A and B are shown apart, each in its own frame.
Chain A
Amino acid sequence: MRWRVPLILLALCFVVPEAAHAARINEISDSTMAERALRFFSFQDPSLRNALIGSMLLGICCGLMGAFLVVRKLSLMGDALSHAVLPGVALGFLWNMSKDPVAIFIGAVVAGLLGAGTVQLIRNTTKHKEDAALGFVLASFFGVGICLFTMIQNLPAGNKSGLDKFMFGQAAALSHGDVMLLGGVTVLAVVAVGLFYKEYRVTSFDAGFARSLGMPVQIFHYSLMLLLAFAIVASLQAVGVVLVSAMLVIPAAAAFLLTDRLGSMLLLSALFGLCSGAFGSFLSFVGRNLPTGPFMVLAAAGVFAAALFFGPRHGILSRWWRQRSHSARIQRENTLKAIYHVLEADEFCRELATVTELAERRRETLEETMRQLAAVRRAGFVTISGDSLSLTPSGWQRACEIVRNHRLWELYLTNAAQIAADHVHEDAENIEHVLGQETVLKLEKRLNYATRDPHGKLIPGLSDIHQAPGAQGRATGFGASQSM
């Protein structure tokens, strides 16, 4: 998988400790926004360096894990887990009465796994549904966490604990140890996903099938939950408990909208996470130490909104644009059909039709008709001079095809589908534009190459389509090319 290599390299770049710059502790004094922006990216200040690197790492590992949450429809499990770890953080602090990353990490992971286990237990032993179980764990574990936090604040060591940063996140408070932890978790996630990509993919898509292949589906599920717990806990300090699930789900959902392949989705998700993380910590620093979590989430939400509206394949605006051009095409084809009918009314004795006749037949105003003719002319199907117009060879071809499709379909509906003749016309109006070549040939065969539609009109045959409109044996050559 070509995408795996750059991903691993990217992760390694940030894990290897930077020896390039000497650590200089600058004081963060009042300065302008531009000055602070510059300082942020100059990598001079170690705490800012940690903030930036930590945020980017967090973005990567949350993005990777989040991609699996989104495809397995476990987004709200991520939310519940991220709230459930709070008591673990408090207990981890209490272990050594200090913000020891390892103790907090272990405490939080244990709490998270306990939460996940409780959800399962409630699902298995009571009649309560999935959403109720998740909500219960989310709220009650969080409540225990809040109690512990406020109790800690009463202790002498408590006020300086910096635990309040865990609510909404503060990337600037990341210590070197925290960043190393993030780095470790990111590397673990990348390696695990890289090694077991096809297993994770098949168990996400069709667990039953995977089980039938003899894969230990449960192990993969729990390993993913474990990695998720690691990612959540490692990211807590930078994003905050409340908003971690956003960093899991939003970049992944944005990636989901932009690609149809899990591999690219993982890559994009990690990339979006990285950018959101960096941008968020940047914004919070520039805004004088505002909490980082909210800004990271807003950055990610911006990316998601862009993907939602402007995504090339599934974006709302792209779809709207495609719909518009589709209806424009149908409009053009209906105009061609009308021209055909005008000419047919005179049994193709002439080549020219007038705009007035066309407007009459379509029951429109002259302006309307002129506008539509302009569109048809732009497509090269018709030439107009004054009030008269004539079909170009390609225009004639297309008009014949459309009329043929329409009449074949009408015939099919009346004969084979036994739909009453007066219902049929409108159906045919919609369908003739989308019948593919193959279907039309099938239809023709099915209808025994009939030459007349339910209203008695001639059905243009294949050869007629390629003959230019003109006086050469039009009336006689028509339809006689097909054999019964």
Chain B
Amino acid sequence: MQNLIPAFDWQRVVVAPWTDGFSFTIWIVLMGFFVTAACGLVGNYLLLRRMALVGDAISHSILPGLIVAFVVFRHVSIWVSLAGALAAAFATVAIIDFIHKQSRVKADAAICIAFTTLFALGVAMMSSMESKGSMHIDAECVLYGEIAFVALEPPFVWAGWEIGPPSVLRMAVVLCVIALVIAVFYKELLVTSFDEGLSKALGMRTGVWHYGLMAALAIVVVSAFEAVGAILAVAMLIVPPMFAGQLSEHLPTRLGLTVLHAALTALLGYHLSVWLGCSTAGAMVVAAAGLFVAVWIPPQIRKLLRLRAQPELIVSAMR
């Protein structure tokens, strides 16, 4: 067990990445930040609409969408991935609705059936293609990505300036677009998430906003895919909003806290992975979860201690 956790050497873990490997480190941390922030912002609305697990479902079912898109279009590019992801997202939602509405299977089982079947289809396709030698996708990559690859990409050159790895820049654009959409359509997103009845009574097309959110979800997840893989994208959708929710009851503040959480996660996560020599994505998820626990547990302990000291508070402590 001792060999498992390397010694914590401040120099190696915290300082060296920034002094020696700056150009490597900066892109990884930025990618992590952009991915977590974009997923977290979209995730806020998922949680408000109680659709967290639909987010889970779509991030799994994107896999066969990507594979089918690659097979159909026969080349790998961001637009192909996007097409595959959007198709998969809508297919998932359509299948869930179909099963749920056309039979007596309930919504939770329908979600589970839809995404596991699609994911199984994706993995089956992937492994049979791999065994035939026609495609080489690392199975692990699907699950937890390999964010370090972004730092190794040849940089994007524009007007003679070397800006940075294309994936990171793409993710930055995605983040900006998401932030912009949320800012511009803030009140529409708010009222359709809060009170669907009122939205319809006011004449809003709630279906448009619902599918728009699904599309945004598909876009952030497919962008997050190469950095953190399918399953950890789910973490980035859910954990930052939960962190923000513990600290504020005001939606704009929550959105800001989500971005802050993303920054901390990326930074802490990267250093954690350097120290332990583990998957960067996994470390970032651990960091994200750790931040949530840090704001969740201490108030509970304080409450418990207060209750011990003054038993009459037990009545008022019932939420």
A touches B (Cβ under 8 A): yes
A300 to chain B, nearest CB (A): 8
27 A-B residue pairings within 8 Å (CB atoms): A75-B106, A126-B245, A126-B296, A135-B52, A135-B237, A139-B231, A140-B292, A143-B282, A144-B286, A145-B282, A147-B282, A154-B277, A167-B139, A168-B139, A243-B116, A246-B117, A249-B113, A257-B105, A294-B123, A294-B127, A295-B120, A297-B120, A298-B120, A298-B121, A308-B103, A308-B105, A316-B103
Q: Write the A287-320 contact mask toward B (1 if CB under 8 angstroms, else 0).
A: 1101101110110010010001000001010000
- A128 adjacent to B121 (CB under 8 Å): no
A257: which B residues are within 8 A, CB to CB? 103-105
Instruction: Answer whether residue B66 sits at the interface, using C-beta atoms and an 8 A cutoff.
Output: no
Total B residues in contact with A, Cβ cutoff 8 Å: 64
Kindly state whether residue A285 has any CB partner on chain B within 8 Å: no
B251 interfacial contact with A, CB 8 Å:
no
Q: Which of B238, B242, B276 has the most CB of A within 10 A?
A: B238
Residues in A211-259 with C-beta less than 8 Å from chain B: 242-243, 245-246, 249-250, 252-253, 256-257
How far is B106's CA from A247's CA once the two chains are assembled, in angstroms?
17
CA distance A73 to B100 in the complex (A): 13
Interface string of B130-145 (1 = CB under 8 A from A): 0100000001100110
Chain A residues within 8 Å of B111, by CB: 75-76
Set A147, A242, A288: member contacting B276, Cβ < 8 A? A147
The residue that B242 contacts in the complex, of A69, A128, A168, A295, with Cβ under 8 A, is A128
Among B120, B123, B296, B300, the most chain A Cβ lie within 10 Å of the Cβ of: B120
Assembly CA distance A432 to B285 (angstroms): 64
Give Cα A78 to B232, complex, Å.
18
Asked whether, in the complex, the Cβ of B117 is within 8 Å of the Cβ of A250, the reply is yes
Q: Are A150 and B47 in contact (CB under 8 A)?
A: no
Q: Is B218 an interface residue (CB 8 A)?
A: no
| B273 CB to nearest chain A CB (Å) | 8
Residue B235 interfacial (CB < 8 Å): yes
A288-B289 contact given A150-B278, A253-B109, A257-B105, CB 8 Å threshold: no
- Residues in A with CB closer than 8 Å to B159 are none
Partner pick for A253 among B4, B105, B245, B288, CB 8 A cutoff: B105
Bound: A143/B145 CA distance, A: 12
Secondary structure call for the A interface: helix
Interface residues of B in 81-132 (CB under 8 A from A): 99, 102-106, 108-109, 111-113, 116-117, 119-121, 123-124, 127-128, 131
Chain A contacts with B in 93-145, Cβ cutoff 8 A: 94, 122, 125-129, 131-132, 134-136, 138-140, 142-145
Of the four ranges (under 10, 10 to 19, 20 to 34, 35 or more), the interface on chain A belongs to 35 or more
- Cα–Cα, bound, A424→B286 (Å): 67
**Interface membership of B1, Cβ < 8 A:** yes
Find out whether the CB atom of B116 lies under 8 angstroms from the CB atom of A245: yes
How far is the CB of A241 from the nearest CB of chain B, in Å?
A: 9
- Tell me which of A127, A135, A256 contacts B234 (CB under 8 A): A135
A166 to chain B, nearest CB (A): 11
Contact with B along A73-101 (1 / 0, CB 8 A): 11110110001000000000010000000
Q: Are the CB atoms of B3 and A155 closer together than 8 Å?
A: yes
A453 at the interface (CB under 8 A from B): no
Do A290 and B47 have beta carbons less than 8 Å apart? no
C-alpha spacing A132/B139, complex, angstroms: 27
Option from A138, A288, A294 in Cβ contact (under 8 Å) with B120: A294
How many angstroms from the CA of A151 to the CA of B235 in the assembled complex? 20
Interface flag for B239 (CB, 8 Å) = yes
**B231-A243 in contact (CB<8A):** no
Q: Is A146 among interface residues, defined by CB-CB distance under 8 A? A: yes
Q: Which residues of the partner chain B approach A75 to less than 8 Å between Cβ atoms?
A: 106, 108-109, 111-112
